[in-house]
Amino acid sequence: MPEKVTVAINGSKFGARKWERISTLLKEFPHTGKFPALGAVVNNRLVDLNYKISGNLDIQTVDISHRGGMDIYRRSASIILYAAAAQIAPQVKLTVGQSIGDGYFFEVRGAKINKALIESLESSMKKMVKANLPIEVEHTLVEDALKLLEKSGQESTRELLEQSRKADASIVRLKKYVGYAHGPVAYRTGVIDKFKLYLFKHGFVLDFPNSEGELSKISKAHLYSKLFATYVETKEWGKLLNVQNVAQLNASCMSGDISELIEVAEALHEKKIAAIADEIVKNKEKRFVLVAGPSCAGKTTFAKRLAIQLKLNGLQPVALSVDNYYRNRDDSPKHSNGAYNFETLEALKINDLSRDIKGLIEGKTVSIPSYDFKMGRPDPRRAKEMKLEKNHILITEGIHGLNDALTPTIVPSRKFKIYVSPLTQLCIDDHNRIFTTDTRLIRRIVRDRLFRNTNAENTIAGWESVRAGENSYIFPYQESADVVFNSALFYEYAIMKTYAERFLMEIPRNSPSFIEANRLNRFFGLFIPILSREVPADSILREFIGESVFSYK
């Protein structure tokens, strides 16, 4: 008789047979969300629904409204796309690229990209979904997996697995498609019932539903044209360096070429910053530079390096901190839970800020306040007078810089707006991308632990709140920037690995943050580490790992 174990699933506790699948349990104890179950959190680990019960477990099923469920949905929809391509056009090679809105951009090799191909792919995907086919995950020896991946032409994935020291591998199968599972997948195609394909630029976008289960009725890719142009530019940098995926990065580490490649990558950053400075100088009306971007984009280091390039052009940058214009704490707006909301525009004295900037641009002497964050109000004793001379240019950086409501009295012709974000161009392999949000989260985990006395557990716990603020106050304005600077560096994950893995290990297993920590630790397992001594002293990465030539006080 099969051994019995005690299981709690979505709050219901009962006895179950050992090695029974979660998907089987759901027939009697269904998922309680309004969307289909996609996976489950088992003892604080995200797994697929084919997971076999091996002991006494606490199980919470997740759907698309959960971060882990969304990851499963997107990974599974992509697998269905690859399976469709393998079935209708086996000569076609798809490579995943940048995130575009709620979707992924794909490049196509081996066939002409046109409407007919897109319609055929989408039709084939829908047939697979309607058939509700099983998405099979097979755990096999690495040696056997390598042969399967080589046979299916997935060279980047094969090279990456070859570099690993694992004994086994998870192979995913759907129809004629054979790939590597970098995380949990849906157990059947029928739950991936919303998606859309449409042509964009030199490829196409696979659009996913949002966390509310809604699929956009119209293509929104055109709203990200500046971001996409920056992605294409840095993608070309990756081709120049021959580092477009993790396997190629690891290979450069093993060959001893990494030091030179890092120098070239950093030089490309400097060249781009110099070009932005040249553009500012050409526009002589521009007296006010606003640098904006999401958390841990590297805005501060970028602004400092930009200041150096402006000095080379004969301009004298003058920094103005928006932080000095916060309202008295007692007057600050609050979240619904009663906590102060310092990220909203209403937390600032907009009229005072606009008045002072306008006065400075007009050549007046202005008294700039100094905010005391401990007291929660300006300290009049520390106020200082400021005046812009003929060769001076005003620079400020912060989350609201792209929103014209921050400076309503300053005419657009006087402003030069720069959006800074790490738009990750490196992919895990041809079929699996690295999330830009992960790049910033990793930077924040390392910086907070090293310099802000905040451990990884608390950083992860507060990340969704940070993201919510960005969605409200930053991302809606990103395309209004005059220029976009991509602060990502292809080698940074191999640098951050030595720090982040250590800090993630401090998170206890029973913490809600452990789910994310476990996912990130799996991610870091793909990389060969690079020693921090390889990072130049003026690199944007030094803002997060320390020993920078710049001061951040």
The model's pLDDT over 239-291, given as tens digits with 9 standing for 90+, comes to 888 999 999 999 999 999 999 999 999 999 999 999 999 999 998 888 899 99
Q: What is the pLDDT at residue 503? A: 98
**Fold adopted by 226-545:** Rossmann fold (3.40.50)
Yes or no: say if 261 and 491 are a contact pair by the CB < 8 Å rule.
yes
| Residue 316 bridge partners (DSSP) | 392
CATH architecture of 68-218: 2-Layer Sandwich (3.30)
Q: What averages of pLDDT result for each successive group of 10 residues across the chain (553 residues)?
A: 82 87 90 93 94 90 95 97 95 92 92 93 97 95 94 93 91 95 95 95 94 82 83 89 95 95 96 97 91 94 96 94 90 85 89 92 93 88 92 90 91 94 92 94 97 94 90 91 96 97 96 96 96 97 96 81
Question: What is the predicted pLDDT for the residue at 420?
Answer: 96
CATH of the domain spanning 4-63: 3.10.20.30
pTM: 0.93
Angstrom distance (rounded) from CA 518 to CA 507: 10
pLDDT tens string 421-456: 999 889 999 999 999 999 999 999 999 999 999 999
Residues 69-89 pLDDT 10s: 999 999 999 999 999 999 999
Residue-level pLDDT at 2: 65
Which secondary structure element, helix H or strand E, spans residue 484, and what is its range?
strand 483-486
What pLDDT is recorded for position 158? 95
Rounded Cα gap, residues 371 and 85, in angstroms: 58
Helix (H) or strand (E) holding 99: strand 93-100
Q: What is the pLDDT of residue 310?
A: 96
**Three-state SS sequence of 251-303:** HHHHHCCHHHHHHHHHHHHHHHHHHHHHHHHHCCCCCEEEEECCCCCCHHHHH
- In this prediction, residue 373 carries a pLDDT of 82
What pLDDT does residue 531 have?
95
Domain boundaries, the chain: 4-63, 68-218, 226-545
Q: How far apart are CA 286 and CA 116, in angstroms?
A: 47
Tokens of 441: 């989260």
Give pLDDT, residue 424: 86
Looking at residue 166, its pLDDT comes to: 86
- DSSP letter (8 states) at residue 479: G
**Contact yes or no for 291/401 (Cβ under 8 A):** yes
Angle at 390 between CA 386 and CA 391, to 5 degrees: 95
Taking CA atoms, 378 is separated from 241, 294, 349, 374, 394, in Å, by: 49, 26, 11, 10, 21
- Report the alpha-carbon angle 191-135-159, nearest 5: 125
